Structure 1
């Protein structure tokens, strides 16, 4: 039997290879506070201002006020014994109109933030886009408009000329499935569309923008560039061939489309059967840009979905059904084996030796502050189980170089407002006071010896 205390992690730093990095992640709109520092409006502001789109109409105007409290927050990263901090840059903060004149206060903020990481011995892991498209560009069609790839490359050049020389890694776009399918087909995120033509175009243009931004950073002499994709394990709801086909198509839309574009310079045929008629004319000619080589892949993983056919006959003709496993506050099944699957599968099938980072993994739970403490044993156990799957993949030869927890702070969880708490650190959204949770302390104990 293990002698581990319930509030400790099973694995420690010494159980991972030398140089393996541990970190925590956030995103700009979710924590910074859009109303501060000359930041422009993004389509999340207008989406949240539309009744019914977000819980209680909540938005990221104040969020966690990281804009003013960043020093305290970076201290929390350092004091947990973490090695890196994965943050995102707000396009609207850098370029309030999406193009044209930069916002000096925005550029200064990100420079201070990066320098603050370096002063604390933290490696800066930057992401250029985590969903907050400037409103003036949304008005021009946003991700449906092919020009978004050039706008994104120009924005990339502006910010990376300022901070690119001090970054450990840089990623282009966080979770292209969310930018496109979730937001243009399911309508659950900004811009809130449910349109298959818009979906097909955004699924292509988001990868074109990734390629153009990667080229822009290469032209600045930057290295260690990657793409961060999210994955969900798709299980058939039963043993029928129809359920197997539905789960396979879900896997194609969610997991194989974006990897196929970048690493195969082709999209999966089963998904093209539905999206092909709606794709931009001549899209095949963009694959050399989309396939611009990257230096690493980021894997964001949280859950699996149980998939059944919906009988509609309309693409994609599938639906999610309730699964039997324990669930998080998001009603997401806890299935750590899926993380092992995606690490080893992407290594064998796509990346073939490129470094892999687990760039997001974590859970929401209804954490409460009591007597100055926040006990979150379910999160500690979630981290335990997923870290073991990372360790298992490494033992099998997968080149995993780091594990980054989502999230450092409880924050604005998009259309779900402030109810779902993913943080290692509790945030009181009335006072904005930070309180490290038991999971933060457990990580600190596990990582205390940096060798």
Structure 2
């Protein structure tokens, strides 16, 4: 699945006083018809698309589908296959933030209503980048609840993971053949030196990065990680509930990768951006070994537009290499279709900085990386036409995964 995406983040800031809505900042609400046509002009069919949750989900059992009805009809007319991204870094005002225990059930209700409204949609990302959302909202104090403590982080992880599980179950209840692309940020922490404390911090962060996916996929965590969860507010019975769920069978693991995803734990114990040290091949390989799910490269881009084509090809060669190693990778994504706004400062202020990361700029003019991606798709699309269908890949993964996971647990 060669794909792109519409940048759709909408976290709140300053205690919820205002919202950073990227669909508004990037002009999608005004240019959505053009944007959908641009997807097809590039020769793409698959589109990661995040309907604006904060505008649609108006209250308990209250939905405003007007905007999305038009978008969905145009997608069908153009033959676009959306991967619907139902919760992307933010919540409606009435749900406040990710510390609210009512969030999981409210999002499950929304997912069920969504699947009933659009029964033709098969691909879903119920909750985007759970780890990043919890970290920036509850540990680093940037978005939504803007907390900076371990208990708030664990609470956000619990609620995000539970929402994801319940949403997948709700959607599957309406459409049993739904496919879930669980997109997560591919992170890695490297200790700077052999100091035992620095190595301990790096080891902890390398376990923490997996927490939301461990809960989602019912993978038992290490004893010390479980103690961390219980110490910071996860009830024993809730952990047991996660371990009893099974939503993996129809799941594709999406691993996002940017130049800042690999980090160095420096001599003071703080994480610093390391750049591309090992690359998507190595980092995604760690996620595959842990979960043994079919994979998709679900996000990448480059802040330096001049280097965009080179970065694109580097990521694609990583995908080719890991496929040759036997890892079932079923998709690749340049994110996003257009340039984005204020991502160089993680959306923390409304400065209006245009980040030239898109296949098109905000005037909807094609960038060089857009031409490069169009060429890549033309070059390799036909070559991959004989790849097994998604259903066959999911079925095969379901046969081999349980045995592998038992070995890992042992």
Normalising by the smaller structure, the TM-score range is 0.7 to 0.9
Given the two structures, how large is their TM-score scaled by the length of structure 1? Answer: 0.76
2:270 maps to 319
Match status 1:24 vs 2:7? no
The answer for the alignment partner of 2:403 in structure 1 is none
Quickly say closer, same or farther: Cα 1:111–1:269, change in 2 above 3 A: farther
Q: Check 1:424–1:334 CA distance in 2 against 1; reply closer, same or farther (3 A cut).
A: farther
The change in CA–CA distance for 1:280 and 1:270 in structure 2 (over 3 A counts) is closer
Is the 8 Å Cα contact of residues 81 and 443 (structure 1) preserved in structure 2?
no
Of stretches 173-182 and 265-274 in structure 1, the one that deviates more from structure 2 is 265-274
Q: How does 1:112-191 map to 2 (within 5 A)?
A: 112-138=70-96, 142-163=97-118, 165-191=119-145
Q: Indicate the SS of the match to 1:436.
A: coil
- Which residue of 343, 355, 360 maps to 2:294? 355
SS where residue 296 of structure 1 aligns?
strand
In 1, Cα distance between the equivalents of 2:135 and 2:273?
A: 21
Any idea what the Cα deviations from partners look like across 1:53-105, whole Å, max 9, x if unmatched? xxxx97658312312311100111111122311111222221123x23211xx
Partner SS, residue 75 of structure 1: helix
How many residues end up aligned between the 2 structures? 370
In structure 1, distance between residues paired with 2:23 and 2:111? 24
**2:146 aligns to what SS in structure 1?**
coil
Cα deviation for residue 398 of structure 1 reads 0.5
What is the CA-CA distance between 1:258 and the residue it aligns to?
2.1
C-alpha separation between the residues in 1 aligned to 2:16 and 2:175?
38
**Match for residue 276 of structure 2 among 306, 310, 334:** 334
Which residue pairs with 2:377 in the alignment?
A: 447
Task: Tell me how far 1:166 sits from its aligned partner.
Answer: 2.2
Instruction: Give structure 1 stretches of 5+ with no counterpart.
Output: 1-20, 31-42, 51-56, 311-317, 324-332, 366-375, 428-432
TM-align CA RMSD: 2.4
Relative distance call for 1:45 and 1:242 in structure 2 (3 A) is closer
Higher relative contact order (CA 8 A, sep 6+): 1
Match of 2:69 in 1: 111
CA distance in 1, matches of 2:367, 2:169: 41
* Structure 2: 5+ residue stretches without partners: 383-410
Matched position secondary structure for 2:175: coil
From 7, 30, 45, give the equivalent of 1:68: 30
1:424 correspondence with 2:392: no
User: Which residue does the alignment assign to 2:285?
Assistant: 344
Indicate the residue corresponding to 2:155 in structure 1. 201
Which residues in structure 2 correspond to 1:368-383 (within 5 Å)? 376-383=305-312
CA deviations on 1:88-141 (whole Å, 9 max, x unpaired) are: 1222221123x23211xxx23223323322322322111110012011111xxx
Question: TM-score by structure 2 length?
Answer: 0.83
2:47 corresponding residue in structure 1: 85
CA contact (8 A) 2:107 2:167 kept: yes
Question: Which of 294, 310, 314 is residue 385 of structure 1 equivalent to?
Answer: 314
**SS in structure 2 at match of 1:297:** strand
